[in-house]
Amino acid sequence: MRGPTTTPKPPTVDAPPSATAGPIAVLPGATGSLRSPIIDFTLENLTVQVGDTITWENEDAAPHTSTSGVSPDKDGIWDSPAMNTGGLLQFHF
């Protein structure tokens, strides 16, 4: 596990925003890179493979963080600093 990185953005596949969160599976032959928007304090549930890179982008007007674990318990794998509107976080699994 490599952890957060600030390297240039890899090619991404946009995860469509939805009113309800749901799982997104990385299918065989996928790019291994997903983009997940943060809107109204909501993140989509993602299923990723070892080697995948996830990019979170804050598309909300308020600053947000991305923290691993299930609320209210953090599991310590990652915890980003606050991201303003348009802020990005990449994590390589």
For the segment 32-78, what is each residue's pLDDT rounded down to a tens digit?
A: 566 666 666 666 677 788 888 888 888 888 888 888 877 777 888 88
Query: What integer pLDDT is reported at residue 17 of this predicted model?
Result: 39
CATH number at residue 87: 2.60.40
DSSP state letter for 60: S
pLDDT at position 23 is: 38
CB contact at 8 A, 55 and 74: no
Looking at residue 30, what is its pLDDT? Answer: 47
Q: How many structural domains does the chain have?
A: 1
Show the domain range for 26: 3-92
Instruction: Say if pTM beats, i.e. exceeds, 0.75.
Output: no
Q: Which residues pair with 56 in a beta bridge?
A: 36, 89
pLDDT at 26: 41
Determine the pLDDT at residue 70. Answer: 75
pLDDT of amino acid 10:
41
The whole-angstrom distance between residue 60's C-alpha and the CA centroid of its chain comes to 14
